[in-house]
Copies of this chain bind each other. A is one copy, B any other.
């Protein structure tokens, strides 16, 4: 456990912004200006391997990370891209002919829509 790792962990702890590697890098850089991406990616890799964070599939342009490792879902705003956690547990059943051949271990749901701020602003959907 090094100071850089501590700083990364502190930034991630309780973070609900689904940060990217660059977000982590920039945040830790304030405290440790010499931090390198190698360290960030090394630490991410370590955390993933011990199930300390999840790598999210919700942004095609970059990988995002989530310290909330409990199964949960996301609301994604089509206008501003904001991503909000939703902890509801959905009991989803799939057709029997599929579950016979594909053993389901879990599910993840993304809801797409428009967040409160963007509805007020009437931002045009990109």
Contact = CB atoms under 8 A, between A and B. Distances in A.
A90 B26 CA distance: 39
Can you tell how many copies of this chain the complex includes? 2
A121 interface: no
Interface string A30-55: 00000000000000000000000001
Nearest to A109: B109
A44 to B, nearest CB: 12
19 contacts: A55-B60, A57-B60, A57-B110, A75-B104, A86-B94, A86-B95, A88-B95, A102-B114, A102-B116, A103-B114, A103-B119, A104-B111, A104-B112, A105-B113, A105-B114, A106-B111, A106-B112, A107-B111, A109-B109
